[in-house]
Structure 1
Amino acid sequence: MADIEITDVDVKDMRFPTSLLSDGSDAMHTDPDYSCAYVTIKTNKGYEGYGLTFTLGRGTEIVVQACLTLSKIVKGMKTKDIYSDFASFWRKLTSETQMRWIGPEKGVTHLATAAIINALWDLWARIEGKPLWKLLADLTPEQLVSTIDFRYITDVITKEEALNILKEKQAGKAQREETLIKNGYPAYTTQVGWLGYSDEKVRELCKKYLSLGFTSFKAKVGQSLKDDIRRCEIIREEIGEENKLMVDANQVWDVQESIEWMKNLKEFNITWIEEPTSPDDILGHATIAKALRPYGIGVATGEMCANRVIFKQLLQAKAIDYCQIDSARIGGVNEILSVYLMAYKLNVPVCPHAGGVGLCEMVQHLQMWDMICLSGTSENRIIEFVDQQHEHFENPTIVRNAHYIPPKAPGYSTKIKKESILNYAYPDGKEWQRMFKEGIFAAPDV
């Protein structure tokens, strides 16, 4: 790895017209076009790393520009200098003296950080010839801890504590890896419950995913209580009482409104309410969680959580019962590992958010590492699965009998097919040009 130098960073605006069929629609995001800022890191030895951060269409160009600006820090670096002290490089990227002002460690700059960091991890795994979950699992506790910046979280977990936890978990790693390879990792589906779907489509999809082995389902809620009751009735009729049902409000409610709304849905035996209020409202989430626990309803959040500090407070305040890391919202794998460690110490299961472009592909690696090296189990843990956009990846996620199958190909499963880039790079891709010409979408202003 000593002679591998990063020579260039390419960034593309990739968009897919999911709004046409209401795929991905929820109470807050009614017309999403699932998109991503897609980063390719190139080297002088022919290796390339591919990373992305998920977006919803408009605004992706802003994230792309942030990636291009931050990429100047990466160009010219040797990979050995990055990976031998990854935590220091991560801090360098997130602490660029002028760019930090428009974060710090949140928003557009942190989305861009995630895309670049994800590409660097993909590159490392490709150099080593391993899928990312295996690269992470094979790192020594010392190596793994050296990738994490513990600034701001030492009041919950220190580097020394993390090292001791990981060392204690070394026993049984091989057996847990064998179990994972044999059985896969459990998944739940959100595909049945997008808010823009008709009742007939919801019924049809419930039947489909039951036949595929799914036993856990999630539905979007929050626009109309009457509609939510009707849709939950439909889903319960189709999936039965023995299967799990979660709901997701995507931040639309105030605190007290969240509590009262969910009391009206308690008869449907809801496992969790996801994102009931503002993702930044730690104390609000704590109030909701305390009020709903007597009804057996947990609180889940994290897909819009800005950084490890917000996660730290959610965990400290007992504001969440399920910790939902997102592979592209906070600053890539390094920061996500710190959240896993805090959640483990404070005994909160991690159940990743995965629904957008490439998110299923990425989070499977993280959760599999957790099972092998940290929590040691998939019990009370599950990965979201949304069945769209996988066809655009060279190594798409594989789900069989409602279980993620561990990837075998080297990397983070983030490389997009050339054909998809030609068709869906925005705005010059062939499909976008066709849709502009046919009036399906308005062409962007020049």
Structure 2
Amino acid sequence: MLQGLLAAHRGGYMDSQKEEGPAPLLWRFSDFLKWAQLCPSEPEIGHALMRLVITGQDIPHACEVELLILSHHFYKSSACLDGVDVLVALAATRVEAYVSEGDFACLARLVTGVGNFHALNFILGILVENGQLDLLLQKYSSAADANTGTAQTVRGFRMAVLTSLNQINPNDVDAFAMVYNHFDMKHETASLLESRAGLSAQQWFQRYDKDQNEDLLDSMRYFIEAAEVYSSIDAGNKTHGACAQASLVSLQIRMPDNQWLNLSATNARRALVEQSRFQEALIVAEAYGLNQPSEWALVLWNQMLNPELTEQFVAEFVAVLPLQPSMLVEIARFYRAEVAARGDQNQFSMWLTGGGLPADWSKYLARSFRCLLKRTTDLRLRLQLATIATSFIDIVESCNRTLDKVPENAGPLVLRKGHGGAYLPLM
């Protein structure tokens, strides 16, 4: 039998045959199983195959591995646990010879062909430690294609490989990425990309020359790739978060004089309030979870002494975000408190940042607040804001006149014809 197997092994290749081992043989695995049906005892077949390995002389490693895999198959199918234990012990004694000759392909074929990843996990460790992870994954794919491995078997192999990686080289992100991609582990792949983005950003912080932004470009690329992976599995919040972080990194690249990354909650709020341009403010708000009406109230209020800036900021704001009633009411209260506390013209403001106020500060504040009132389409809310602010009698009277013409039960269905012929809701 051994002579026949060796002759078959050395005989050549079959072009139409899928790989069922490190080298395609003239005899197929499936053919051998068919011939084995002539023997009534599967354990005896396993014993005979293992005896060939033990007593055989000058058996090529590739052929020896195939014999061990066949033997394990018959032991397993006949529930011969003693045979499995002996075979695993025998395989362990052969590993050293394979490693000494650098025959990692046979090792990969052995562990993937036998499939007992718990007992042979030390082989996985040897392959990972010697940089043969790619070979291991290729051999497993070939074995899975040939044997149509079950989902449970795939999960077992995946967990065994990841366990070996964590034990031997937990910081090898490239190896983990290879495994995640091989098994189509989307969540893990995206999480790893985000981790790599953070590491790249940290490397930039450690640079002496901050003008070298290659690390930041890598970080932004990783965040974008993570967003693409999250998007492919419909993880909307994760996608949004990764995009927000990528935008923040791009802001650090475009405006390197300020620190935008890794800010504390307090510094992030300070950076948000100090922004005079809405696009930069939105990037900071999205990246640090500050996109809330209460946060935007302070940002808008900080623009109020510059009416032109306020008008531009509000115009960009309403194109992206709604003017929430709670935010507008808070700004109206700020306005009332500012007017009530103004005192001397040169007195420092209790709300606004900066130094002394300009002589026409009240006019600037009023103009900026009117800009917000103009953007408030809900008539009752506009009346409420003007009433709270206390300084806009004309707005209050105008709203009251309009509301007097509207029935109480009309609600938001009442429309008025606006500029250009479009109909706008009164409330």
Q: TM-score, normalised by structure 2?
A: 0.23
Q: TM-score, normalised by structure 1?
A: 0.22
- Bigger radius of gyration among the two: 2
Task: Name the structure where strand makes up a greater proportion of residues.
Answer: 1
Task: Name the structure where helix makes up a greater proportion of residues.
Answer: 2
Larger RCO: Structure 1 or Structure 2 (Cα < 8 Å, ≥ 6 residues apart)? 1
